[in-house]
Amino acid sequence: MTHNTIMKLFAFLLTFLPLILVSGLAIGSESTIEVPEGYTISGAMGFKGTLHGVEVELSGTIEEMYANFTSQYPEVVANAKANANPTAAYLPTSNVGLAQLESRNPSPRGDHYCCPINGQPNWLPAEVAVLVDGINYLNNFQGVCNTGGGPGNCVRVSCSYSAAIYLCNDNEGDLVISCKDVAFYAGQIINYCRVIWGHNTPMSCGQIFDNANYNVIVHMAGC
């Protein structure tokens, strides 16, 4: 191998080394920064109820569950999308969206914290538009979401385009709650903890608690 060839190969490696290192760090640290110290992500979220009128029991993130449902019931999904009411979607930047949230639950039943949160320096804001897509997906799930046994057990509710929603259980037993409550709290975090990044891009990051011993987290993640 000539000296010139070696130098070209070295330059090529240097070009991609930062990307490799960043990817490696993200993979290695993701499980430790997704949820607070003392919590773990152990298993997938479960859902039992109806989706577009069909009785189902599914598990995974809402994106995974919806994709699974779509593969089984493509006609149902196509019909639901064709008849969707755009005004029913959650719109955090509008008074209508806020009114929808407040009519269901006037105020959080616990405290909320916006990033930066003590002990969570690595949590970064996620793009609001993507979080809203997750909330709108979640509002299609008419039934209960569960985390499995606690305390200290979390599940990923939604994760898409680097924006994630988590549900964490502080109870001894299983946490089984309305999926709409999770959507509500994710929306509250957006409303309380919105910041503007870059070219007027709304972002949000935070954690909110319910007195029934669970909490919802929103932040940027590796997905």
Helices 95-104 and 179-192 sit at what angle, rounded to 10 degrees? 130
How far is Cα of residue 82 from the mean position of the Cα atoms in its chain? 26
Q: How many residues can be counted in the chain?
A: 223
Same-domain pairing of 87 and 191:
yes
Q: Are residues 199 and 105 in the same domain?
A: yes
pLDDT of residue 1: 53
Q: How far is CA 68 from the centre of its chain?
A: 18
What pLDDT, on the 0 to 100 scale, is given for residue 97?
A: 45
Residues 127 and 203 in one domain: yes
pLDDT at 89: 53
CB distance 10 to 1 below 8 Å:
no
128-138 vs 179-192: helix crossing angle, rounded to 10: 160
> What local confidence, expressed as pLDDT, does residue 108 receive?
60
Asked if 18 and 56 sit in the same domain, the reply is no
Of 174, 87, 182, 194, the residue nearest 138 (C-alpha)? 182
Domain residues for the domain of 197 are 35-220
- Cβ atoms of 124 and 220 within 8 Å: the answer is yes
Location of structure tokens 């493509």: 74
Q: Are residues 4 and 101 in the same domain?
A: no
190 in the same domain as 131: yes
Provide Rg for the chain, Cα atoms.
20
The verdict on whether omega for the bond into residue 202 sits within 30 degrees of 0, i.e. cis, is no
Query: Which segments in the chain show pLDDT lower than 70?
Result: 1-32, 85-108
Q: Which tokens belong to 102?
A: 């407040």
| Whether residue 69 sits in one domain with residue 14 | no
Q: Per the structure, how many domains does the chain have?
A: 2
> How far is the C-alpha of 56 from the C-alpha of 189, rounded, in Å?
29
23 and 82 inside one domain: no
* Model pLDDT, residue 32: 42
Query: Quick one: pLDDT at residue 2?
Result: 53
13 and 85 in a single domain? The answer is no
Q: Which two tokens stand for residue 149?
A: 């046994």
- Residue 218: phi and psi, rounded to 5, are -130, 130
Instruction: Please check whether residues 175 and 76 belong to one and the same domain.
Output: yes
- Does residue 105 share a domain with residue 19? no
pLDDT recorded at residue 86 = 61
Q: Tell me the β-bridge partners of 217.
A: 166, 207
- Paired tokens of 86: 């755009």
Q: What pLDDT, on the 0 to 100 scale, is given for residue 16?
A: 35
What's the pLDDT score for residue 214?
A: 95
**pTM reported for the whole predicted model:** 0.78
| 12 and 68 belong to one structural domain | no
